[in-house]
C-alpha cells in the first residue's frame, strides 16, 4: 500500500512529471511517474536523478525518479524544411529579387 507523503495524495504522486532522455541524453518526452517506474522496473530505463523521495509498496521502497534515461537509442525524424522561395532567401540571407532589381530613383 502506498503511503501519503509531503501532503500529496497517492494519485498526485504518481502523476508528477518525469523527464525522459534518449540513450545519448537528448530530451525525448515528459511522462508521469507511474510510466517511469514501469520503465525502470522492466529494465528499459535507468534513473538519472532522484530528488522526490520514495514510492513505497508492501515489499519494496523505490526511489521516485525525476529524470530517467532509456537504455536504447530512439531515432527521431528531423523536421523537414519546405523548399520555397522564401526559405531559400532566408537560408542565403539575400533580399527578395524584386527589392534587389528595383531601379534607382
pLDDT band at 1 (very low <50, low <70, confident <90, very high): very low
pLDDT value at 49 more than 50: yes
**pLDDT score, position 11:** 61
Checking if the pLDDT of 76 tops 60, the result is: yes
Distance separating alpha carbons of residues 38 and 3, to the nearest angstrom: 19
Residues 6+ apart with CB under 8 A from 69: 20, 21, 22, 23, 25, 45, 46, 48
Amino acid at each position: 500500500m502506498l503511503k501519503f507523503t509531503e501532503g500529496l495524495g497517492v494519485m498526485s504522486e504518481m502523476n508528477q512529471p518525469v523527464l525522459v532522455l534518449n540513450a545519448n541524453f537528448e530530451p525525448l518526452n515528459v511522462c508521469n511517474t507511474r510510466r517511469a517506474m514501469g520503465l525502470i522496473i522492466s529494465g528499459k530505463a535507468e534513473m538519472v536523478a532522484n530528488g522526490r523521495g520514495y514510492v513505497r509498496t508492501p515489499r519494496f521502497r523505490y526511489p521516485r525518479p525525476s529524470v530517467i534515461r532509456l537504455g536504447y537509442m530512439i531515432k527521431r525524424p528531423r523536421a523537414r524544411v519546405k523548399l520555397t522561395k522564401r526559405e531559400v532567401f532566408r537560408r542565403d540571407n539575400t533580399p527578395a529579387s524584386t527589392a534587389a532589381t528595383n531601379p534607382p530613383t
